[in-house]
Structure 1
Amino acid sequence: MTVSQTNLAWATLLDVSPREHGRRRLHDRLAHALRTAIRDGRLPEGAVVPPSRALAEELGCSRWVVTEAYGQLVAEGYLCARVGSATRVSWSPDTDPPRSRARRAPERTPIRYDLAPGLPDLRAFPRRRWADAVRTVTGSAVHYDLGLPDPAGHAVLRTTVAQYLRRSRGAEAHAESVSVCAGVTDALVRTCRALRAEGFTDLAVEDPGWGRLREAAASARLRVHPVAVDHEGLRVDDLARTPARAVVVGAAHQFPTGTVLSPARRARLVRWAREVDGFVIEDDYDAEFRYDRHPVAVVQGMDPSRVFLLGSVSKTLSPALGLGWLVAPAAMAPVLRAANAVAAAPPVLDQLALATFIDRGWYDAYLRASRRRFRSRRDLLVRTLGAQVPEGRVAGTAAGLHILLHLPDGSDTQAAVHSATTAGLRLADIGDYRAEPSTKRALVLGYGNISDTDIPPAIALLGEALRSAVPRSRLDEGS
């Protein structure tokens, strides 16, 4: 059978019947059928094979069968699989045998240093304390805790989160207003669905900002309107000129600019929400980390009836825990539940473990130690940049887990990122977070998940990468 014009390997006939392959296991039969199709030329080099889930459904087998077959063919050189890309045929009858080809293929440079934003210090994860919390709740959970979970989350964690947010973030929160989610993105998707159910059609987001927030809004069929951010945070006057009646804001520490929403803008934002009969969705993603003063309180405390508050432990403990929360205005709580009738809370034992971790004071102690560690690491990063990358200018409040490195006009940040990646250094270009194009050039440097000892060699590689991206005249001026 010929391959479709889109160059997908979907339409190719695969005979995996026992009469064709004898008593082989199913994944071996599938690997043999695919291998034969490639050798016969029915699957040409570069053709995309079906996603494992889709092929499993088509064949009426488990996904494991397909992934095992694909893995075998990748090892043999017939297929090529890359993270974030489709799996493709990497051999044809006109080329060398696949095994010899695979040996000659150049290996991708491993990442030695990670300065990309978005992760806390995973090396410092409190394994012993977390294990203690899990062990405690596993032994003490009553039988009904092990039944069907409450979609809004276990009452114990909802109460604990509400108390924590009241004392540490200045929020107006109660157990009834808290929903336990899998993280901030999950919380935002739930909020967007509720807004859509209430007739909202438009949502404003900060620009630049997390692209995942825009994707979450789009998944709820809301039109997205980017609004610029300046040194005082979201430009509320620009927001007022959009048709949106809801906006997502990082008030305590905006990503990726690192700005803090000024007091005047906070007051203006709340007035705007009242004037348009709308809502503010406050993303409180890394507000616990402020190094020059005490963290600012949440906007939600200024008007709980107009502000949704979203948070998680992804930037404090680990995103692998998949635990977050959503504090909704009282009037929207029923709408939120109705619009997310099939939403599931994280595993109950994990919820109870987090509640124990917070109630016993371990979370606060961990945050205090983390602040000291991150403040010292940020200072080291800024000093090292000043010495080795004098052409750059550091921006952003002394908070969070990243800084912004502004580069001279004309710098090719994409070339710098590519050059650094080739050398084993992961970076992020601020352009990756923009909805609208801009002439401003900057790199977003995360320091949460890199050790102190790795910062000097990482910045040395960064300096080398920038030499090819910064105009020669600018380098001369900075030297």
Structure 2
Amino acid sequence: MSSSIMRSLDLQLELDLKERRGRSQQLVAGLRRAIESGRLLPGARLPSTRGVAADLGLARGTVTSAYHRLIAEGYLESVQGSGTRVVAAHHGEARARRPPPGTCSPWQWNLRPGLPDVTMFPRAAWVRSTQRVLRLVPAEALDYGDPRGRPELRQALADYLGRTRGVVTRPERIIVCHGFTQALGLIATVLAEQGMGTVSVEDPCYPLFRNVIETAGLNVHPVGVDERGLRPEGLRGQAAVVTPIHQYPMGATLTPARRKALVAWAEEADAVIVEDDYDGEFQFGRQRVGALQALAPHRVIYAGTTSKTLAPGLRLAWLAVPGDWVERIAAAKRIADQHSAALTQMVLADLLRSGGYDRHVRRCRERYRIRREQLSSAVARGVPGAWLIGEEAGLHALVRWSPDGPGEREVIQAARRESLAVAALGGYWGTPGPHPPGLVVGYATPPQHGYAGALGALVRVLGRCFAA
């Protein structure tokens, strides 16, 4: 936006500027009131500092100082090429005005699990990759294509997965899907067509896994999980869906001994293992655990996704499958939707080849590591009787406490009163209780400027429940 347009914007503020002292503080207070009352909406563009100074008869430095302070407090943000805007959330304690239904989240603080900080999406790198693709894309790429996905992306994924996750595969054995939900649905469809009746899943696990499997006409067999991951002795059926790197939602890493036992079960039962490596890139230690798939590429279907690394809205995931599974899943994919969006696939391929994807993952990994440390410290200091469990990895952590403490329902109700979105562990179990209580906290979900406020809300909620 040009500076002339920015200077032409009007701004109505109720200020008493007769006194020369404290004018910057008055301007800060006036803008803060306008934002907290909802008069200045999220994303609203403010006039330039020069324009405000001219309209109010202030020194430009006075206005600049006020803007900088509100940026530091999280009320405003400076957007290159677009001036200064009101942010979507801020660090203030005042409760945000509830938006109309369907416009955005009704919660002031969002710690729901399973989501990345989408404000970190690498827009500039994505734009550069998009521009390169659009300059070079062949006309045939805009036609109907291979249900397995674009060859550029399958090659880039084979290189990336082998280098970063230890996956043993080739481009022709990779199938690109619209997210992991579709990928699991395709696998379940093939299992049902082959007459396989039962699929083992971790207990607890993401409830949608069970729904997708049952929708395909298969039976779900829950298998217990402890601090060493899935218990292989409980496996049944002809397939198992596992999250071995950072079990969802408990956070355990499958131990080497249990990895071997899981593969041994698959060999003996002539079964297939579906490995959901949903956040394997976000292991915070120096020694990162590789994919289970490398132990038995002929038995393991490996699944990855951009939903945790980039954004769920891209709807891109991939399967690295054993050779004899390629045509079966590709046939199911062709019926489901022919193929995934070609241009988006090619942009992701360029981002992978250029190193932009790796740079983004490293940046996110460091930020999420710090956030988890802050969560652990806040719970330890502010909530006696509660603690974090699970590996230091991923996008979420599990807050646990003694069964003698408050009930999950009580905690969730208190969170609603605080306008805090968070998930209770109880919704993840596939077997009847009683089960130990807990909260699944998505520390990656809030934008950076909103994390401190969300963390404070969580500590207040738990503190009140434990003090009751």
TM range (shorter): 0.7 to 0.9
Distance 2:133 2:145 in 1: 15
1:437-460 residue CA offsets vs partner (Å, 9 max, x unmatched):
233011011111224554443333
Distance (whole Å) between structure 2 residues aligned to residue 252 and residue 261 of structure 1: 6
Q: 1:179 to 1:391 in 2, by over 3 A?
A: same
- 1:202 is aligned, of 195, 198, 202, to 198
Q: Does 1:424 align with 2:424?
A: no
Cα drift, residue 388 of structure 1 = 1.3
**Kindly tell me: are residues 391 and 424 of structure 1, through their superposed partners in 2, closer, same or farther at Cα, counting changes over 3 Å?**
same
Q: Distance in 2 between matches of 1:464 and 1:401?
A: 22
Which one of 139, 164, 167 corresponds to residue 163 of structure 2? 167
Structure 2 distance, partners of 1:110, 1:194, is 39
State percent identity of aligned pairs.
35
Counterparts in 2 of 1:452 and 1:321: CA distance versus 1, 3 Å? closer
Q: How large is the RMSD of aligned CA atoms in angstroms?
A: 1.8
Tell me the equivalent position of 1:275.
Answer: 268
* One-letter amino acid of the structure 1 residue matched with residue 266 of structure 2: A
Name the CA shift for 1:274/1:112 in 2 (closer, same or farther; >3 Å). Answer: same
Match in the other structure for 2:324: 331
Q: In structure 1, which of residues 371, 383, 386 is the aligned counterpart of residue 365 of structure 2?
A: 371
**TM-score (normalizing by structure 1):** 0.73
Of 258, 279, 303, which aligns to 2:251?
258
Deviation at 1:336, TM superposition (A): 1.9
Tell me which of 157, 171, 179 is aligned to 2:153.
157
Q: Is the 8 A contact 2:118 2:447 kept in 1?
A: no
Whole-Å separation in 2 of the counterparts to 1:383 and 1:159? 42
Q: What is the Cα deviation at residue 144 of structure 1?
A: 0.7
Distance of 2:341 and 2:289 partners within structure 1: 31
Contact in 2 for aligned 1:210/1:255 (Cα 8 Å): yes
Which residue number corresponds to residue 450 of structure 1? 446
**Structure 2 segments unaligned to the other structure (5+ residues):** 1-99
Q: Gaps spanning 5+ residues in structure 1: where?
A: 1-80, 84-107, 473-479
Distance, in Å, in 2 between the alignment partners of 1:283 and 1:431 is 21
Q: How does 1:124-203 map to 2 (within 5 A)?
A: 124-203=120-199
Report if aligned partners of 1:109, 1:423 keep a CA contact under 8 Å in 2. no
Q: 1:221 aligns with which of 217, 221, 246?
A: 217
1:353 matched to which residue of 2? 347
TM-score if structure 2 supplies the norm length? 0.75
Which residue matches 2:305? Answer: 312
Deviation of 1:470 after TM superposition, in Å, equals 3.7
Distance 1:424 1:235 in 2: 37
CA gap of 1:336–1:456, structure 2 versus 1, over 3 A, is closer
Stretch of structure 1 that moved more, 463-472 or 126-135: 463-472
Instruction: Tell me: CA distance 1:248–1:109, structure 2 relative to 1, closer, same or farther (3 Å).
Output: closer
Paired with 2:105 and 2:171, the residues of 1 have a C-alpha distance of 49
Q: CA deviation at 1:467?
A: 4.7
Q: Which letter does structure 1 place at the counterpart of 2:109?
A: Y
8 Å Cα contact 1:232-1:261 kept in structure 2: yes
Q: 2:460 corresponds to which letter in structure 1? A: E
Deviates more, 1:407-416 or 1:425-434: 407-416
Shift of 1:471: 7.2
Q: What displacement does 1:390 show?
A: 2.0
* Number of the residue aligned with 1:302: 295
Aligned to 2:394: 400
Moved more, 455-464 or 364-373: 455-464
Q: Which digits, 9 at most, give the CA deviation of each residue in 1:25-80, with x for residues without a partner?
A: xxxxxxxxxxxxxxxxxxxxxxxxxxxxxxxxxxxxxxxxxxxxxxxxxxxxxxxx
Work out the CA distance in 1 between the residues paired with 2:162 and 2:221: 31
